[in-house]
Structure formats: structure tokens, C-alpha cells
A and B are shown apart, each in its own frame.
Chain A
């Protein structure tokens, strides 16, 4: 497989994961409207027969993104066996940043985070919401975010998510060959704004739940 095909696959799976994160942060934001709305939204998702195939699809997309990125990183390192004594960023029109230089590291950090995250929420305690068969995920979220340590670590991981998106969003489209004199500057801005919006959104929600969640 050529490096272009590899990057097409990483880009396409990246766009899908980006779309998932947008839905995820919007869904989480419903917590601001109280347990009724939040739990009924979660129930709507969980009771949908398509949720299992979609979850399997998400895991497959995530694994493809990951495996392709890891194998590509080894190939990239092999392409430059001898390092420079001195190498600096070229500046000018270059998009190189701390985020772009650490994509594999931020990605691997998320690989550690996501199983813990899924264990804490999806496979966390099953509380019934009132007398209904609706799962009380609101209560679970409040319980999970009672520890300042958990909230702090969670916020740090969300910064890593934001860094991955800072480069990853615009980079995905370039990898797919989608580029143009108007589109490229636009998607670079959209990528950075959504990186801040998504990471910031998750952090604000966690901090809000930590501060005010139990009172509602």
C-alpha cells in the first residue's frame, strides 16, 4: 500500500472520529439542562437498535486509524535514519506546531485514556432513573466527577484531544486531497476553532458537573 493510500485511510477515519467527537460534546452539553433531558437523550441512543452496529463501527474506525498511524510512524522514522545536528521549524507558511509534531504521542495518550473512559461511563454502575427502565447516567457522571483528581486528569486529557484536533482536522482534509485557495485557509481555521470548542466544551462540562452537578 502506498503512503498516499495510507494517509487517505488515516484522513477518512480521522474525519469520522472528528464527526463523532462533535456529536459527543453536543450530547454531553445536554447535562446543563438537567437529569430529565440528559437521561432521556441517553435512553434514546441506548434503546436504538442501530447503537450496537454503530459502536462496533466506531471501534473499527478507531483501530484502523490507530494501526495505520503507528505503522506509518515506523516507516517515516526509517526514511531518515541519520538525524540533523540542528533542525528548526522553517516558519513562514509552514503549519508545523507542537501539535503537529506530537500527533503520534497525543494519539497514543488517547489510546490509554479511552478504555478507562469507556469503563467509567459505558460500563460503569447501572443506576435506574426513578422507577423507569431509563439508565441514570446523570447520576453516574456526577459521581465520576466528584473527585478533583479525576476532573483534573480528565481536563489534561482533553487538552491532548484538542492538540490532536488542532493539527488533525485540517490535516485529514489535506490527506483526502480536499484543498483549494478558499477551502484550505477556511478548514485550517475551522480545525483550530473546533479543537478549542470540543476540548474546551468537555472541560467546561466536567468542571460544571464537579461544581454544580449534585445540586440539580
Chain B
């Protein structure tokens, strides 16, 4: 199939540094192959900007195969763009038409300050993890297979939650910039497994406490987060977070 090329009109958020005013700037991306990924298209635009001696558009990316969670911007009003279950790097230009206008913005949340252009500081997520999203109990060497019995359905459920790559699209999509899906996925993942049991109550109290301290909003149960999650993590994880939090409260954990 011969490669098709399109021209798209970009409106990109440009902000020179943190706490500085930014604005939407228009760019024309000419002769873009529809086989390119969205980020490759931005690379082409940046090469052109660099040739002209202008400042390249800053954006985060790393693996470019949808597993690392580094990339992410709001494309035409939807975090990670129009495709369900995909990161920004997995979005391809064949999803756009010749002459289309595409707005590109960073995640917007008080807890995710913009560092430059499309890059944001997501260290709030790191601090939530550091507050309890781990297992500190010594579990010895690698266990023999099946020495810790976990029903397959439970293992699958825990794995579905563990699929979270911490990209932040859930916060970006939420009208309240809430981090409940992220925190809920981490809590669900560890609460379902025996290795997570010793710190189960303390973990949820600490992680929710940190989530609140970071300034994220409350959950309005709309499920926009679920719809944009590149790993399709459902909001049942948020209900599980509520149950785990209530359980910890019931047991007097603070």
C-alpha cells in the first residue's frame, strides 16, 4: 500500500517554563506520512523548528510502544487522543484527515504543574507510590511455582490493575483532576495478593492521605478516566479503593 501523506494544522500549547504564562501556537505539519505515529509527526515539526532556529516543542516520550507511561498529551480534547486503550505514542496519523486541525495540550491539573510546553511534573504519582505502594515484608528467595496458592481469577484481576503505567491520563481526563483510578489500581493490585496482605490497611490509609495532600480532586464517578486509560483499567478499581479505605477505617488504622 503506497504511503499517503497529509497536512495537518496544529494548535500546540507553548509555555517556556514552569509558572510562566503559555499560549496556544499554530503550526502546519506538511507532508506527514499516515504511517507515522503522533510523536513522530511532532518530531518532524520539531526538526523543522530547529532548522529555523526556533525552540522545539518539548514533550515526554520513552519506549514509544505503549508500555512505559512517559508520553501523553491531550489531543483534540481527549487524553492520548481518539483511540481507546492506546497511549499517545500508539496513536497514528492515519486517524486524522488531510487539513484537519488538531489541538495538543499538556495534562492539566494543579498536582501536575507544566514544566515546559507539553511536559508536566508527575512526581505527585511517585510520592503516592512512595507513601505505601510497595511490599516491605521480607518474603525470602524466589518461591517454587504454586507454593503460594492464588486462584487464577484473582491473579488475573490483580494483573489487570498492575497494568497501570502511571501515565496520568486518568487525572487529565477527570473533570476534578482526581487520581482515584491510579491510586485505586495500585491498591487493588496489592490488596488482592497474599504478599500485599500484611500492610494492606496501612497502605491504603497512607496512599489516600498522600493523594489528598497532593491536591487531586474527588471522584464524580463519570468514568472518563476508564475511557481514556491506555490499559483499560475500569473504575471498579475505585470502588475497591473505597472498600479498602473503609475496611482500614473499620479496623482503626490511621
Contact = CB atoms under 8 A, between A and B. Distances in A.
B58 to A, nearest CB: 17
Main secondary structure of the interface of A (DSSP, over half): loop
Main secondary structure of the interface of B (DSSP, over half): mixed
Interface in A159-173: 167, 170-171
A211 interface: no
B105 A80 contact: no
A86 to B, nearest CB: 4
Given A7-B218, A175-B221, A178-B239, A88 B76 contact: yes
B6 interface: no
B178 interface: yes
A94 interface: yes
A177 B246 contact: yes
Contact of A80 (B13, B103, B108, B239): B108
Contacts of B103: 85-86
B248 to A, nearest CB: 10
| Chain A interface residue bracket vs B | 35 or more
A89 B221 contact: no
A28 interface: no
A61 interface: no
Given A79-B111, A80-B110, A87 B77 contact: yes
A79 B216 contact: yes
Contact of A85 (B24, B79, B176, B220): B24
Interface of B: 11, 13, 24, 74, 76-79, 84, 103, 105, 108-111, 114, 173, 175-178, 180, 208-209, 212, 215-224, 226-228, 234-236, 238-243, 245-246, 249
Interface of A: 2-8, 72, 75-76, 78-96, 100-101, 103, 167, 170-171, 174-181, 184
Interchain residue pairs A-B with the least CB separation, the first 3: A179-B239, A177-B242, A79-B217
Given A4-B219, A7-B218, A88-B78, 20 more contacts: A3-B180, A3-B212, A4-B245, A5-B249, A8-B242, A79-B109, A79-B215, A82-B114, A85-B24, A89-B224, A90-B78, A91-B227, A94-B222, A95-B223, A177-B239, A177-B240, A177-B241, A178-B239, A179-B236, A179-B239
